[in-house]
């Protein structure tokens, strides 16, 4: 449970993130350099929504696992940890070694590939297509990636409704 005094803060933060997110959705062309920022933005909004939206939180009930997102050259590395109904995000250094191997790793060829994976047209996140296009390489347990993709899709679909966030 979060402290109720923090609710206004979270609301403002959510609004800011949502605005940035929707701008990204609306952008006709996505700059490559934006990809890393967007990855963090997406994971941050997810993390926040898990705290404040019970209907969104239910998607990670009993979800214990780690997913690493990284570029082929290790320049971008972000670790998402699902634990105790929360999502924690941690940026990793290129050379950093993890004590426990993540359950799954998503390795993207370049920032555009990451964007295609994170922000597919019409909210249709298509892992198989990304693999076939050699845009991403998946390592580890695919079911963790499928579950993450469902949550990301759900978030994108909800945000694309434009009205208020509803996570039914």
Partner 1 sequence: MKVTFDDLSLKHITIDSIPRLKKLREIHFKTKPEICVEIPRLLTEFMKKEGIKPEHGISKVMSARRFKYILENKKAIIDDLNLLAGSTTTKIKGVPIYPQFMGQAIWPELETIHRRKKNPFGITKEEIDELNLNVFPYWMDGTVQEVCRSDYNNPRSLQIMERIVFFIASKVHVISHTIPDYEIVVKEGLGFLLKKIEKKEGEFYEAVRLVIEGVIAYANNLSKEAELRAQKTDDKERREELLKISKICKKVPKESSETLQEALQAIWICNIALHQEHTNIALSLGRLDQILYPFYKGITPREAIEQIGCFFLKLADHVPMNPETGEELFGGSGSNQAVTIGGITKDGNDASNDMTYLILKTIELLRVRDPNLNIRYHPDKNSKEYLKRLCEVNINTRATPCFHNDIPVIEALRNQGYSENDANDYSIVGCVEPVAGGRTFGHSGAILLNLAACLDMALFCGKHRLTEDEQIGPETTLPKDVKSFDEFLDVFKIQTRFLIDQSVEINNLLGKAHFKINPLPFLSVLTDGCIERGRDVLEGGARYNSSGVAIIGLSEVIDSLCAIKEFVFEKKGVSFEGLIDAIKKDWQGYEVLRQKIMNSRDKFGTQSELAKKITDNVLDFLHTEYQKRENYRGGKYTVGYWTMTMHAGLGVLTGALPSGRENKEVLPSGITPVSGSAPELLDVLSFMAKLDKRKIANGHALNLKFTPGENLLDNFIATIDAYFKIGGMQVQCNIIDRNTLIDMKNNPEKYDSLLVRVSGYTAYFQDLNIFMQDEIIKRAEYDLRRKE
Helix, strand, coil % in the chain, rounded to nearest 5: 50, 20, 30
**Stretch near partner 1 under the rule CB under 8 A, chosen from 6-14, 44-52, 54-62, 73-81:** 54-62
Residue 79 or 107 having the CB closest to partner 1? 107
Decide: helix, strand or coil at residue 65: strand
- Could you tell me if 142 and 153 are in contact, meaning their C-beta atoms sit under 8 angstroms apart? no
Q: Which of 44, 47, 85, 153 binds partner 1 (CB under 8 A)?
A: 153
Q: Which of residues 93-152 bind partner 1 (CB under 8 A)?
A: 122-129, 131-132, 134, 137-144, 146-147, 149-150
- In the complex, the smallest distance separating the C-beta of residue 121 from partner 1, rounded to whole angstroms, is 11
**Shortest approach of partner 1 to residue 128 CB, angstroms?**
4
Structure-block tokens of residue 8: 């206004």
Cα separations (Å) of 52 from 3, 6, 49, 87, 88? Answer: 11, 10, 5, 12, 14
CB of 168 to partner 1, least distance (A): 8
Mutual orientation of helices 7-26 and 142-160 as an angle, nearest 10°? 90
Q: How far is the CB of 15 from partner 1 (least distance, A)?
A: 24
Report DSSP state, residue 141. -
Residues that bind partner 1 (CB under 8 A): 58-59, 61-63, 65, 122-129, 131-132, 134, 137-144, 146-147, 149-150, 153-154, 157, 168
């Amino acid at each position: 449970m979060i402290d109720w005094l923090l609710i206004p803060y979270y609301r403002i933060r959510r609004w800011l993130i949502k605005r940035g997110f929707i701008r990204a959705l609306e952008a006709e062309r996505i700059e490559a350099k934006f990809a890393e920022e967007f990855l963090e933005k997406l994971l941050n909004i997810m993390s926040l929504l898990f705290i404040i939206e019970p209907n969104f939180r239910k998607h990670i009930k009993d979800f214990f696992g780690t997913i690493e997102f990284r570029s082929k050259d290790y320049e971008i590395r972000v670790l998402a940890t699902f634990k105790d109904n929360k999502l924690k995000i941690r940026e990793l250094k290129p050379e950093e070694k993890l004590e426990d191997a993540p359950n799954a790793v998503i390795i993207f060829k370049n920032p555009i590939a990451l964007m295609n994976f994170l922000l597919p047209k019409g909210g249709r996140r298509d892992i198989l297509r990304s693999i076939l296009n050699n845009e991403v390489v998946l390592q580890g347990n695919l079911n963790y990636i499928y579950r993450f993709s469902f949550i990301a899709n759900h978030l994108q679909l909800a945000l694309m409704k434009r009205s208020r966030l509803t996570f039914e």
